[in-house]
Structure 1
C-alpha cells in the first residue's frame, strides 16, 4: 500500500470512529430522534442523597416512569461557567437542565405545550426550588422551545433514562404545528394613587380587554427602575404610566390558570407582591 492510500485509509477510519462516538455519546444537535445511549455515564452518587433547601426536603430517586406536566423556567448568564451538581460546568449554550429529584446525569424529553416544540436535554444540576416549576432549562434549551422571552412555559417532561458520558441534547420534530398567537390586547389601565405607585396598600386593578389577564409585577416612582424591571421580565412586560407612578405589567393571558402560573413565576423571580389583574 502506498503512503497516499495509507493516509486516506487512516483518515476514513478516523472519520468512522468519530461518527460512532457521536452516536454513542448522543452529542449531536437537531437529529430529530431521541439519542440511543450505549455507554451511559455513572450516576453521581453524591447527587442521590436527600437534601434540604429553604426548609424543604427533597429525595432524589430512580423514576423510570416519570412523566409530568408543569411550568419550566430558564437560567443563563448569571450561572454560566459555574459547576453543576454533577461537577460539570454549566454551559448556557448547550441543551441542559436542572431537576429536583431525577438521577444525575440523565436525559429528559421536554415539550412546550404551547407550540409543540420538543427537545432532549441533559439533566446535570438540581433545581428549580420553586413549587410552581418542575424544570429549569439552559438558555439554549429555552431558545429551542421558543420560551425565553416569556420567561416561563407550560411543558411536559418525560424521563428517558441515563445520560451518555458527554452531551445527549438534541432538537426533535414538533408534535404539532404552532398555534396562531392571539393579538395583544390594548390596555387602558385606570389611574391609581401615589400610595399604590410606591407599593403601599396594594390592591388588584382592572385592565380592559375582553377575556384578558395580566400580572402586575410592581409599581414604582422612578421610570428607569420600572423600565429595567420590565426588560428583565421579558417581551411580555410593559410599563404603564397612567397615574402617579409607573406600573410594570406582564401579559396578557387568555385564562386565569395560565396567568396565575405566570404570577407565581414573577413572584419567584423576586417580585413577591405580584398581583393578578383580571380583564373584563
Structure 2
C-alpha cells in the first residue's frame, strides 16, 4: 500500500532555512560599533608644510610645545571644546590659559588654522565661553601641549567639557605677559617656541638682560692661546665702546646674541648684516637702530630664522 506524500513540507523547510540565514546575515552586516578608548584618537595626522602670505608653516609632532600668542574665536567646523592650530598634530590636546584672568582649560585640536599669521590658536565658541573669551576679540593666551588621561579625552571627544585646571598664579602671568610683549607685533610665533618658565617664583625673562644665551655651537669655551694673551696690552684702549652705527635717542635695536670673543661676534654680525657693540666683557650683536618696535619686527624675525632664538627687541639707550 502506498502512503500519501506531503509535498508542502519540503517547501516549508526551505522557507524556514532561508529566513534563518537571512537573519544571521542581517545581524553581521549591521553598522560597525563606534571606536572608543585611546584608539579614537588615531590616526594622528601631522601634515605637510603650507604657506600663509609669505610665511611657511611646518607642522611637527612637538611634545614640549609651549608658546604665547593671541586666540580668536571661530565657528565653522569647530564644535565642543575644540580648536585649530597651525603646527601641532591632529588630534592632540593642549591647555589654553587666558593671560588676562589666569583661567586654564583643556582643549582638543581637530583642524588646521587659523589661516592668519598673527593668531596662535582658534577656539570653538564653547571653548571660548569656558575660557571667558569674547567672540570677535584677540585674547592673549598661553598654549601648552599636554597628555591628559583617557577619561578627560573621552569627555572632549563626546562634545563635553573637561574639568578646569588650577588657575595660573599672578606671578607667572606677569612673566607670560612680558614674554608676549617682547614678541614682535603682527608676526607669527616660531614653529618651535622656546621653553616657557615652569614656576611663578622663577622669572626666566628680564626686561633688559646684561647678556643673552647664544646658540649651542657658540657657547663653547674659547681657548685663548698663550701667544694671543701676550699680544694683549694691559693699558686701557681709548677707543669708543660702540663700533657700529650710533643709536638715536629713544630708538630700538634687535639684540641677536652676546659673545665673549670679539671674532665670534663679528662673524655673527657679518652673517646678519648687524653691528657689534662692546659692553663690559661681552660683545653684543645688534641690528638697528629702528624708530619703533614695528620697524624692528622684520629684523627680529630675520635673527630668529638665522638660529638666534633668544633675539629680542630692546631700547637702544
| TM, length-normalised to structure 1 | 0.41
Say which structure is richer in helix: 2
Structure number with larger C-alpha Rg:
2
Higher relative contact order (CA 8 A, sep 6+): 1
| TM, length-normalised to structure 2 | 0.36
